[in-house]
Amino acid sequence: MIDWATITGFQWDGVNATKSHDKHGIGCPEAESVFFAPDLRILADPQHSTPDEPRWHAFGTSAAARPLSVTFTIRRPLLRIISARPINSRERKSYGYPQN
């Protein structure tokens, strides 16, 4: 369970931020905006988690009105974003977003 009250901001690895922007056109502010979306959904990512660092996926509509998938971990007191991309067709169907 994530204790949102302990999160004070966001952290990005420079390489991952550049990759999300160059590959998907998603800048840091847009990816971060997903965490304030009314349709935010958080799912655990046990496949990529370790005992020392659990990972999660956030799904939600960004401030630019794009449904995004954001993979993240918590490094208290910051939420560290690992990647951001548009949600795929399977995720659109699973979470009720319109198909493109």
Per-residue model confidence (pLDDT) at position 98: 72
Number of domains in the chain: 1
Q: Which residues of 18-48 are buried (b: 16+ CB within 10 A; e: fewer)?
A: eebeeebebeeebbbbbbebeeeeeeeeeee
What are the helix (H) ranges across 7-88? 14-24, 28-33
Cβ pair 67, 86 in contact under 8 A: yes
Residue 28 in any domain: the answer is: yes
Overall pTM > 0.85: yes
Residue 82 in any domain: the answer is: no
Q: pLDDT by residue for the chain (100 residues), tens digit each?
A: 788 999 999 999 889 899 999 999 999 999 999 999 999 999 999 999 999 999 999 999 999 999 999 999 999 999 999 999 999 888 888 777 777 6
Residue 63 in any domain: the answer is: yes
Domain that holds residue 59: 22-75
